[in-house]
Amino acid sequence: MSAAELVPPEFAGQWMFKVKEVAAICQICDRTVRRAIKKERLKALHVGGSIRITRDALETWLEERSGGAK
């Protein structure tokens, strides 16, 4: 299964995600997402006072977590 298939269809047109959206997609706590960002395992952008994760960064992180990174 490709990383693109791991992102639910309701987020199909979206290319940037909030921390809570990533947590919902991955079915994990938002603290886990924030921890991954802090440890630089998940790349994120700081926009104003908020954090955004690009689709590419999310897909890469999901591949790494599922053991599919090459």
Domain for residue 2, yes or no? no
In a domain, 55, yes or no: yes
Name the more confident of 1 and 50.
50
CB 41 within 8 A of CB 32: no
Place of tokens 């790494």: 64
Residue 6 lies in a domain: no
List pLDDT tens digits, range 8-63. Answer: 666 666 789 999 999 999 999 999 999 999 999 999 999 899 999 999 999 999 99
Instruction: Report the number of distinct structural domains present in the chain.
Output: 1
CATH number of the domain at 56, please: 1.10.10
* pLDDT score for 36: 97
Any domain includes 18: yes
Cα separation, 34 vs 3, whole angstroms: 20
Domain that holds residue 42: 13-66
